Chain A
Amino acid sequence: MRYLPLTDDDRQEMLAAIGAPNIEALYKDVAQEVLLDKPVDLPTTKGEMEVEQIIAGLAAKNLGAGAAPFFLGAGNYSHHIPASADHLIQRSEFLTSYTPYQPEVSQGTLQALFEFQTQVAMITGMEVANASLYDGATGTAEAAMMACRVTRRNKVIISGGLHPHYSEVTATNAKFLDLKIVTNPADPEGLENSESLAAQIDDDTACVIVQNPSFFGQVRNHSQLAEACHEKGALLVVVVTEIVSLGAVMAPGDMGADIVAAEGQSIGNALNFGGPHVGLFAVREKHLRQMPGRLAGETEDIEGKRGWVLTLSTREQHIRREKATSNICTNSGLCALAFSIHMTLLGEAGFTRLAHLNHAKAIELADRLDALSGVDVINDTFFNEFTVRLSKPAADIVDRLAAQGILAGVPASRLYPGNDDLENLLILAVTETVTPSDMDRLIDALEGVL
């Protein structure tokens, strides 16, 4: 077996050095009746070529974004990843190292995380950011729990514009913690406003969670909502599922957000069928000690040279055990590195241009779709994703287009099953990867089925 360097001679020699007659002797603490005497019933070892053939066979059964006009978003976006970003994250020293517990031999990872934290803080307009969480959905749940710790209150108000997976994960986490989750009904038209949400805040309310752009693509300035929250002693959590938007949209920090929980997949990370992704998490500095997750901090070594270490670990589970701010142990290190490298490649000029390019393409498609009969764009505002109301149920239309090799978008009914009002809604995302001919094919196909 190509991954195992010991030879049979080595094994015999080593057993002799240990003083054990055979390998079974080393398993003597296992009760005989549960010790297996032969391999379990699964296929035996295979060479690289055979494994490649099996997995490539599975891949061939899927229709990928690279092989079709592609308009899906809803929290997971298809963007172009520069060749150098994917190359650099596969450097052995990044790919095959552990969490940087030994800072003297982990300065590469630590400096990269410090740069990542700074980029995330800048983009979100916040003061500090952590070294990443699993994804945007779990980050939102962490934000809700953190807001409850900060305010010592236990009610969380969720906007109808939040990604349904994000509110479901938050509800799952809250289930056994005596937190009360109030979820507003789905809000495709963006009718919710600062008054309607603020009216729900009471003395028990820890935070209001909004998503911007919303799940349906609506873009809002939440400055007034932030003020209303603060007047009533609650925090404003702003969720961003499409981080590219912040190249063109006002940063949550500039609106007065207290916590930002975002999904960073769009930058540097492939779709990967929904994971692994990278949760971005940024807060006001005054709430730092209630923040979950790893943090890289600047310091110096005994020669006075600048360096980095993991810091403020007294918040964390390996020190605090059941009193920790979270049970989280790792971050999403390599995905965070991919994000950081791609963002460094883009820089200010590239990131803002990428955002405006996405916005311009989305405007183009939205206007063309709106001109079709049987299709109405319902958004008054959007970034690179918007919702259309079709004259027929959206899921059927999506299936019919998929049969023609077109991945048309996400029908709202996939995430809100059984909600008749949303049955005809289709959510489409348009990134820089969409070509004019992709748009033509979508429009021609829609005209054919509507």
Chain B
Amino acid sequence: MSTVTGNRGLQLEEKLIFELNSPGMTAVDLPNPHEITNVESRLGNAARKNPIGLPGLSEPQVVRHYLRLSQKNFAIDGGLYPLGSCTMKHNPRLNEKMARLPGLADIHPLQPKSTVQGAFELMDMTAHWLKTLTGMPAIAMSPAAGAHGELCGLMSIRAALEARGDARSRVLVPESAHGTNPASAHMCGYQVETIPATDQGRVDLAALKGMLGDDVAAIMVTNPNTCGLFEDEIIEMTKAVHDIGGLVYCDGANFNAIVGRVRPGDLGIDAMHLNLHKTFSTPHGGGGPGAGPVVLSEALAAFAPLPYVVHGKDGFDLIEQADDAAEFSSDAKPYGRMKGFHGQFGVFVRALSYMLSMGSDGLRQASSDAVLNANYLMAKLSDLLTVSYDGPCMHEVLFDDRFLKDTDVTTLDFAKAMIDEGFHPMTMYFPLVVHGALLMEPTETEGKETLDEFVDVIRALAEKAQSGNTQDFKAAPRYTPRRRLDETKAARNPVLVWSPGRAPELQAAE
């Protein structure tokens, strides 16, 4: 049944800000600049002449607009968000409060160092926690995200190899890896080759050994891997790579399964990024900002990016230039700068707030609970859904679409039906090593009651699909602000900005 407005109770339609425009209106009252000075502009021949076209709204309109938009989003605060590999865990509000403290939110990165000693100390404490948890001697704090961390780690590897006079040309990446891995290796000037997986969902050690040679710079391994499994031959792998003079990069996206239980430094890893927005609970914010510090082994410690905090003679100091990196020999220097200023400081504050709250005991319990929750889902669902690889799994469990065979329901349809039941879908169609992947990561911040409810719903949906009721799946989702959206149309004729004169009614009729 349709309504006059298109609204459905609490679900309200909302125009674009450009369609709410009252020209001349503003929600920010500012002093009149002409009352300060009436002298001529100092903009030379570059003063703006054309209007910009921004809409004018009052504060109540703006607040209402964004409140209505927010109500069209699913969020971890509202319900289970079992996106495998993404780690949608609870985001404590204490962390937000800490990041907004005066003295942290309102300091400038280029203030005299004597006026920001507390900020350097905070970075140093965060670094200490991360190095201790990973068992690694060094860390690069500046990368802005996981993919940025991968690039950072590979550049460290390349810089170390070049310092030996042997840059090498190949980087080996398992077929189950995140897409960012090969993209990062490529940006570092390496030729990327794919390592096949075993039928146990792990790196094929024999195949890896066959691919190794003195032109291999590094392997990039994810551990636990994207199938949710611990690489049980990781120590043999890292040893084989070190034996041919290569180095080992670990994608740390899944570190949350092993914090406080296994230290990557003990496995022979040379570089690994940490997604502070996954493992250490900083919010995803609808797609960032995150932070991707990279822990480094002894072999790479000297080849970190700039800048970094050190303990100087008058308190903390920040090394900003390669020439000031005095502690290393002449052929071992930082390779340069990855990012403006000193890294995602606001994210460090949140991650430190989380680590201090959890403590070493709480972090160990968290990874154990994350693993327990995923194994519980596996145990409760494996008779009806098809588990891709035998357990135990780590923090996430991988199913494939064999259980939907002969039903005409796809993984995508299944996911959309979950939305109607009030759950965010799991990760779909990744990793690529199985057909129609469904990768579920409940995280440690879900209780047993939520998991039981989720299991009941998934079982009911699987039974419904197997009973031949495809129509409900094809029509899903039905109770969302929008139903299935036409992605082909969006890509074929891209409309990426609003332009004047395009009324919404006309657009719908196009």
Contacts and interface: CB of A to CB of B under 8 A. Distances in A.
B186 interface: yes
A134 B289 contact: yes
A99 B28 contact: no
A274 B109 contact: yes
A2 B353 CA distance: 14
Interface in B55-109: 55-57, 59, 62-63, 65-78, 81, 83, 86, 88, 90-92, 94, 96-109
Interface string A110-122: 0110110111011
A259 interface: no
B340 A65 contact: no
A450 interface: no
Interface stretch (B208-216, B295-303, B462-470, B492-500): B492-500
B461 interface: no
A357 B30 contact: yes
Interface residues of B, number: 209
A168 interface: yes
Contacts of A203: none
B42 A382 contact: yes
B505 to A, nearest CB: 9
Contact of B372 (A14, A382, A402): A14
A196 interface: no
Given A221-B46, A277-B340, A65 B108 contact: yes
Contact of B27 (A43, A94, A350, A360): A350
Contact of B73 (A5, A97, A271): A97
Contacts of A123: 52, 54
A98 B43 contact: no
Nearest to A329: B147
B56 A347 contact: yes
B360 to A, nearest CB: 4
Contact of A305 (B28, B391, B508): B508
Interface in B24-43: 24-28, 30-34, 36-37, 39, 41-43
Contacts of A344: 17, 27, 55, 57, 62, 65
Nearest to A167: B337
Given A72-B111, A273-B108, A348-B52, A96 B335 contact: no
Interface residues of A, number: 215
A101 B160 CA distance: 38
Interface stretch (B241-249, B257-265, B325-333): B257-265
B369 A4 contact: yes
Contacts of B178: 318, 329
Interface string A310-345: 011010111111111011111111110100010111
A128 B121 CA distance: 41
Given A108-B69, A311-B491, A97 B482 contact: no
Interface in B339-392: 339-347, 349, 352-353, 355-366, 368-369, 371-373, 375-376, 378-380, 391-392
A410 B81 CA distance: 45
Nearest to B429: A318
Given A109-B286, A330-B288, A359-B43, A417 B321 contact: yes
A401 B205 CA distance: 62
B48 A246 contact: yes
A191 interface: no
A114 B375 contact: no
A52 B98 contact: yes
Contacts of A298: 490, 495-496, 507
Given A104-B483, A330-B145, A3 B90 contact: yes
Given A14-B448, A309-B490, A112 B262 contact: no
Contacts of A383: 42-43
Interface in A228-287: 246-251, 254-255, 263, 270-278
Nearest to A107: B72
A75 to B, nearest CB: 6
A28 B114 CA distance: 50
Nearest to B116: A62
A24 to B, nearest CB: 9
Contact of B341 (A43, A165, A173, A432): A165
A300 B366 CA distance: 41
B480 interface: yes
A118 B18 contact: yes
A1 B357 CA distance: 8
A199 interface: no
Interface string A56-78: 11111111111100101011101
Contacts of B368: 23, 26
Contacts, number: 735
A49 to B, nearest CB: 10
A153 interface: no
B230 A274 contact: no
A317 B183 contact: yes
Contact of A108 (B70, B103, B490): B70
B260 A40 contact: yes
Contact of B104 (A31, A62, A312): A62
Given A135-B339, A383-B43, A41 B27 contact: no
A314 B56 CA distance: 36
B419 interface: yes
A263 B109 CA distance: 15
Contacts of B65: 344
Contacts of B197: none
Contact of A322 (B182, B342, B358): B182
A20 to B, nearest CB: 7
B174 interface: no
B415 interface: yes
Given A1-B362, A357-B36, A104 B67 contact: no
Interface string A25-60: 111111100111001111111111011101111111
Interface in A153-172: 163, 165-166, 168-169, 171-172
Contacts of B444: 3-4, 6
A295 interface: yes
Contacts of A246: 48, 52
A137 B180 contact: no
A391 B468 CA distance: 85
Nearest to B103: A59
Given A31-B235, A106-B73, A361-B36, A6 B369 contact: yes
B10 interface: no
A103 B480 CA distance: 10
A230 to B, nearest CB: 19
Contacts of A288: 494, 496
A4 to B, nearest CB: 6
A26 B108 contact: no
Contacts of A278: 289
B240 interface: no
Contacts of A60: 103, 118
A250 B49 contact: yes
B50 A254 contact: yes
Nearest to B189: A176
B7 interface: no
B163 interface: no
A379 B42 CA distance: 9
B106 A165 contact: no
11 contacts: A44-B362, A61-B121, A219-B46, A298-B496, A301-B485, A311-B487, A320-B179, A324-B183, A347-B26, A347-B54, A351-B54
Given A92-B78, A352-B48, 11 more contacts: A1-B359, A11-B372, A23-B372, A65-B106, A96-B76, A98-B83, A250-B46, A297-B491, A332-B288, A344-B27, A344-B62
The 6 A-B pairs of least Cβ separation, nearest first, read A274-B341, A61-B118, A334-B285, A274-B109, A59-B103, A137-B340
